[in-house]
Amino acid sequence: MVDRVSGRTVLVTGAGQGMGAGIARALAAEGANVAVGDINVAAADAVAAALRDEGHPAISVGMDVTKRDDVRAAIAGTVREFGRLDVMFNNAGLNKPMQFLDVTEDNWNLVMDVNALGVLIGTQEAAKQMIAQGGGGKIVNTASIASRQGYAEFVPYCASKFAVVAIIQAGARALAGDQHHGERLLPWRGGDAAVGPAGQGHGRHPRRREGGRCLRRLRLGGTAGPRRTGGGHRPDRGVPRQRGQ
């Protein structure tokens, strides 16, 4: 199937590498206008340029998801280029494993700021844009199997992913009357791609089919509320590198 999101505009955060880049490629192949968001501007530029070389409409937007002004500017730039924002895919995240008794305030704040606060800001600012432009929209947030249980070496990470689910549930209730639909995506480990928890890569880029698997399960044209998507990868099976943030 092709063109399932033809003409729709999607901003994907953490899309400069790994699963985020795979999602951006899959969406572009399905006809979407894609804004590649990442704190690593050079990486975002490279992904967007590759998409344009293949004939897909794409731009890059540098952004730190923990900074509201950056997120607003990324959304504004997306709307300037493509006219509207139909889907916000809050994918950027990181993990810095540490034993339970060794977790520090700095470790906690780093992971929570990117994974939880970043999702809150992205959801809020995308919803404001969607309400202003009319016509509803989709907000998709990357969660993890760690949003359902705690792991001894991933305390801040697990807490941040529990928070992501809470943000989705609260946002879905708050925005239901405005036709915005929240999703949570629980990625899985995907064969050769070695995709880790919450979409963080292990230094290898996922194959195009990995983003396609996500897309097939997202039903971007539907009206589903918060739900689990994919199989879920245990975070203790691999330590992810920082992605996008």
In a domain, 148, yes or no: yes
In a domain, 108, yes or no: yes
Query: 96 is in which domain, residue-wise?
Result: 9-237
Cα separation values, 70 from 14, 125, 132, 138, Å: 13, 11, 19, 20
- pLDDT computed for residue 8 by the predictor: 95
- pLDDT computed for residue 204 by the predictor: 29
Q: Which amino acid is at 49?
A: A
CA 79-186-30 angle, 5° bins: 45
Total tally of structural domains belonging to the chain: 1
In a domain, 242, yes or no: no
What is the rounded distance in angstroms from the CA atom of residue 45 to the CA atom of residue 62? 9
Q: Tell me the whole-structure pTM to 2 decimals.
A: 0.77
- pLDDT computed for residue 185 by the predictor: 44
Structure-token pair, residue 81: 């280029």
Cα separation values, 33 from 46, 89, 129, 188, 220, Å: 16, 13, 17, 26, 14
3-state helix, strand, coil in the chain (%, to 5): 50, 15, 35
In a domain, 61, yes or no: yes
- How does pLDDT run across 164-201, given as a tens digit for each residue? 999 999 998 888 865 555 554 444 322 221 222 323 33
Does residue 3 register a pLDDT over 90?
A: no
Does residue 104 register a pLDDT over 90?
A: yes
In a domain, 217, yes or no: yes
Beta bridge partners of 89: 12, 140
Q: Per the residue annotation, which of 157, 163, 230, 244 is the catalytic one?
A: 157
Does residue 112 register a pLDDT over 70?
A: yes
> Are 144 and 116 contacting, i.e. CB atoms less than 8 angstroms apart?
no
Mean of the per-residue pLDDT values of the chain: 79
Which of the two residues, 135 and 20, has the higher pLDDT score?
20
Structure-token pair, residue 169: 């549930």
Does residue 121 register a pLDDT over 50?
A: yes
Q: Which of 58-62, 144-148, 183-187 shows the lowest per-residue confidence on average (mean pLDDT)?
A: 183-187
Q: Which of 126-130, 141-145, 156-160, 241-245 shows the lowest per-residue confidence on average (mean pLDDT)?
A: 241-245
- pLDDT computed for residue 187 by the predictor: 40
Q: Residue 196 maps to which CATH number?
A: 3.40.50.720
Structure-token pair, residue 15: 């899309």
- pLDDT computed for residue 1 by the predictor: 54
What is the rounded distance in angstroms from the CA atom of residue 22 to the CA atom of residue 127? 24
Which of the two residues, 194 and 144, has the higher pLDDT score?
144
- How does pLDDT run across 66-88, given as a tens digit for each residue? 999 999 999 999 999 999 999 99
In a domain, 1, yes or no: no
In a domain, 208, yes or no: yes
Q: Is 35 helix (H, G, I), strand (E, B) or coil?
A: strand
Active site residue 157: yes
Does residue 149 register a pLDDT over 70?
A: yes
In a domain, 146, yes or no: yes
Q: Which residue has the tokens 């480990």?
A: 189
Structure-token pair, residue 193: 């791609």
- pLDDT computed for residue 241 by the predictor: 37
Does residue 18 register a pLDDT over 70?
A: yes
